Amino acid sequence: MGGMRIAVTGSTGLIGTALVRSLRADGHEVVRFVRRAPAAPDEAHWDPRRCHVDPAGLTGCAAVVHLAGAGVGDHRWTAAYKKEIRDSRVLGTAAIAQAMAGLDAPPPVLVSGSAVGYYGDTGDRPVDESAPAGEGFLPSVCVEWEAAAAPAEQAGVRTVFARTGLVVAREGGAWGKLFPVFRAGVGGRLGNGRQYWSYISMHDEIAALRHLIDTHSVSGPVNLTAPEPLTNREVTAAMGRVLRRPALFPVPAAAMRVVLGEFAGDVLGSQRARPTRLLESGFVFRYPGIDEAIRAALEGERQ
């Protein structure tokens, strides 16, 4: 495959940073959309709140990967921050989709970020892309977030929703908060530990996004999660094993709610999402198991 021109939003985030590095390492040209004034030749301007996207940044692109959105676990969920979580996703996606639809020759594919939060709390019931949206704040955000891409779909752009699980990485996200806790020897299961976590190694997350760019037969929702979700108790045991620290201290649900506020419901909630469509499309996981995913994160493997 020759070098392509690919536009990326959210390029400074956890996943975006790794994706840009991976694409560039393979000789692709990356255009990074930024909200400030562009300061480098590879940057283009966008203002999601004003629905402005510089069309020159999209022109000639073989794909757009849209990953921008306010961090779900970064702040307490005040009413204002919940609005920020929703607006940053819905307005940003609408801006990108409308800009693509407005071009004479739109980029042929939009890979738009989404989350397994779409399914809500599924308990121990496995769900894949055929499952309906769940109840609550995050499912409602995911539904609006995906719906905002409609202008691109209507313009004939192959649109894929990458419903990502918990990315096993040291640099950020929910897992980034877990590593130092376990390193200190105070990690333990959260609440009763029976809730399922749909995780994915950073390597496989980036490889899956690139697979979705390249696999022309795939559109619609695709779960980016390892083949077998595990319970928090199992994840905790694996963290203890790999870090050679005993996972001794359970963290009571009440304490989690004090620390994380409403977001605790989503960390303590259970999502057993399976990557049916990703596997059916021929994707092969490099780190399907939790121990190997944690080890890869520790070794700081570069994509």
- CATH numbers and ranges of domains, the chain: 5-298 (3.40.50.720)
Instruction: Indicate whether 12 pLDDT > 80.
Output: yes
The predicted pLDDT at position 214 comes to 97
Sign of CA dihedral 278, 28, 200, 96: negative
User: Which of the pair, 256 or 227, is modelled with greater confidence?
Assistant: 227
Instruction: Indicate whether 303 pLDDT > 50.
Output: no
Q: pTM for the full model? A: 0.91
The predicted pLDDT at position 82 comes to 87
Span 99-113, pLDDT tens digits = 999 999 999 999 999
pLDDT level of residue 236 (50, 70, 90 thresholds): confident
Structure tokens at 224: 């980016």
Instruction: Indicate whether 188 pLDDT > 80.
Output: no
Q: Compute the distance between CA of residue 249 and CA of residue 30 in angstroms, rounded to an integer.
A: 45
- CB-based contacts of 52-58 (< 8 A; 24+ apart in sequence): 52/95, 53/95, 53/96, 53/98, 53/99, 55/99, 55/102, 55/103, 57/7, 57/31, 57/33, 58/7, 58/31, 58/99, 58/100, 58/103, 58/106, 58/107
Instruction: Indicate whether 27 pLDDT > 50.
Output: yes
Q: Compute the distance between CA of residue 253 and CA of residue 258 in angstroms, rounded to an integer.
A: 9
The predicted pLDDT at position 302 comes to 46
User: Which of the pair, 219 or 68, is modelled with greater confidence?
Assistant: 219
Map residue 135 onto helix, strand or coil: coil
The predicted pLDDT at position 111 comes to 98
pLDDT level of residue 210 (50, 70, 90 thresholds): very high
User: Which of the pair, 269 or 283, is modelled with greater confidence?
Assistant: 283
Map residue 30 onto helix, strand or coil: strand
Span 48-66, pLDDT tens digits = 999 999 999 999 999 999 9
What residues form DSSP beta bridges with 105? none
